[in-house]
Amino acid sequence: MLSIEKYGAIDIGSNAVRLLISSIHEEEGKSTRFKKTSLVRVPIRLGADVFKSNRVSEENIDRMVDAMQAYQLLMKTHKVVRYRACATSAMREAENGEEIVELIKEKTGIQIDIINGKAEAELIALTDLHDLINTDATYLYVDVGGGSTEFTIYHNGKTIASKSFKLGTVRLLNDLVSGQTWKDVEEWVKYNIAGYNRVSLIGSGGNINNIFKNSGKRMGKSLSFLYLSSYFKTLNSLTYEERIWKLNLNQDRADVIIPATKIYLSAMKWSNAREIFVPKIGLSDGIIKSLYNEKQNDSICSDDKESN
């Protein structure tokens, strides 16, 4: 018999706050299917506050509360049975981060977990990324966010090294990334890929997803270094308004897409990668998978108790 449940994942990033609702389809003898039902994104841009003043502004606190109230109602109407809310770089660094967590819990009932870069990378690795990395190839996985970028190296389907750096699109827009940070990332990548003959990039994040969509490529295909370089030149040749009009970009995408592309191109240069795969995954997808895994573990524990 087919069983269907809905799970919710809230990703509170430095550039935007997202709610993903997925339907989990289970049928005996068949692989579980994860189907995205709804995705809502609000560009609050917490990083613009935090990376300058170390605090989330009162205005953006109010916007966060409004967004969480809306998400709580959406999950209720969708009949979501499990959810998790995770906050990343901006909330990690905000002096008033814990106060905001308590306020939102009080106002909406939603509990927010502020996670570190390592936990963020581990959650993303739970996604369909495994379908790509489970080979004898070597990949540098680059997840670009507003406040940080997570770099993970996979070889033979196993994690070789992983590190989070304060290299994010919102930080770059506000000129808050030092030359030393760029140097540190470059050295880390080059040191950890030494000895591997051929490395391919895997890119995740809203910006690379947008670039891939505009490329017209079919899912599973890669973008070449030359294509990404050419697109970067196109972006830089246009004004902010032209990027919105000619490339049909959202207002909050039209500025951050340039520093994001620079990060991906830099990672490709450092690793000598000639192609980048874009599986369209993110933290919210990993949260959904983690909720499902928790349910499976709970079921196993319950069965063990009953057998005893």
Cα distances from 288 to residues 81, 123, 143, in angstroms, run 12, 9, 17
Collapsing DSSP to helix, strand or coil, 231 comes out as helix
pLDDT of residue 229: 98
pTM assigned to the model:
0.88
Strand partners, 17: 12, 42
* pLDDT of 129: 72
Cβ-based neighbour number of residue 169 at 10 Å: 30
Strand partners, 158: 155
Residue 139 in this model has a pLDDT that exceeds 60: yes
Q: In this predicted model, what pLDDT tens digit does every residue of 28-58 receive, in sequence order?
A: 888 899 999 999 999 999 999 999 999 999 9
| Mean pLDDT, all residues of the chain | 92
Distances (CA, A) of 188 to 152, 192, 271, 296: 11, 6, 10, 36
Average the pLDDT over 63-79 and give the result.
Answer: 97
